[in-house]
Amino acid sequence: MEHTYQKTILVTGGAGFIGSNYLNWAVAKYPQYFFINLDALTYAADLKNIAVADAPNYVFVKADIRNTKALLDIWKKHSPTDVVHFAAESHVDNSIAWPRIFVETNVLGTQNLLELARSNGVKRFHHISTDEVYGSLDFDAPPTDENAPLLPNSPYSASKAAAEHLVRSYNKTFGLDTVVTRSSNNYGPHQHPEKLIPLFISNLLSGKKVPLYGTGKNIRDWIFVDDHVLGIDAAFHKGKGGEIYNLGGGNELENIDITKKLLTLTGRDESAIEYVTDRLGHDLRYALDCRKAKRELDWTPHKSLEEGLRETVAFYRGHT
């Protein structure tokens, strides 16, 4: 395709929650870049989340990253100069029920992209990962930094860790310029209601109970999706080749406490909580040390949890 854009960025999984928020921001922010949104449009994706569909520097291509012919066609037509790789199966419960699809998409799909990036001289391959690759922390352990070992406990996190190892190998063996970001739990408008915050908000607003695993004592760190997008952009532009950056929100909360905040925001009480059998292999706690990203990328999250939750509840109140 003939154009005068500075970069042609292939964004995989761009119709998903984080990918669509990234595109809605980046397409407007960088009119000098051309963005290709590649998405298989599985159950968790929705093109209605894309607010920039009519932008001149954006195009959508329906394709599956497991399909090498479809990927080759994209390279022949658009010649991407960079890749920002969101596409992944990401729901832990689904990975427990159907592990194979997570290996096929998250591992083999990533390898397909890496090979095309390597053989076509892609300038930067940015892989979006997760804090879950580190495994579980004890309550009193310090937050995890980027040098910690990968100890994944679910088929989902194992597939993301495997994908990361492939990304590293293409950097070390073939010299592909890669950067990896590992984020904590994202939340915000347009998230698929399989995830805790949108599921609980939707249930509470419609008068239903919320299913809380175990005793609700598991701890997660929450980041508003807009802050994650800014971190991704900072790592893409400023991150050192071959490096990994943690992007956490700095909002560690027990699941019972995040539930209570949502009860307050939706006008429900604790009778709406239904404790359910705990998830298999349920990690106790995730927490990220993000000093490297703050130091090297000049990135820090801006939105407080209270503000982000209010905004998210307001969105679902208008869409429930």
Residues recognised as catalytic: 131-132, 156
**Cβ contact 126:235 at 8 Å:** yes
- Separation of alpha carbons 283 and 306, rounded Å: 25
**Cβ contact 197:56 at 8 Å:** no
- Separation of alpha carbons 286 and 180, rounded Å: 18
The Cα-based distances of 120 to 42, 78, 86 in angstroms read 27, 12, 20
Please identify which residue in the block is written with the tokens 């307001």.
314
- The set of residues, in sequence order, having a beta carbon less than 8 Å from that of 123 and lying 6+ positions away, is 7, 81, 82, 177
Q: Are strands 252-254 and 219-224 parallel, antiparallel or unpaired?
A: antiparallel
Cα torsion 106, 183, 194, 54: sign:
negative
> Looking at beta carbons, which pairs linking 291-294 to residues 24 or more positions away fall under 8 Å?
291/145, 292/145, 292/146, 292/245, 292/246, 293/231, 293/234, 293/235, 293/245, 293/246, 293/247
- Separation of alpha carbons 150 and 165, rounded Å: 10
Locate 132 and state its tokens. Answer: 């879950």
What is the phi-psi region of residue 219: left when phi exceeds 0, alpha when psi lies from -120 to 50, beta otherwise?
beta
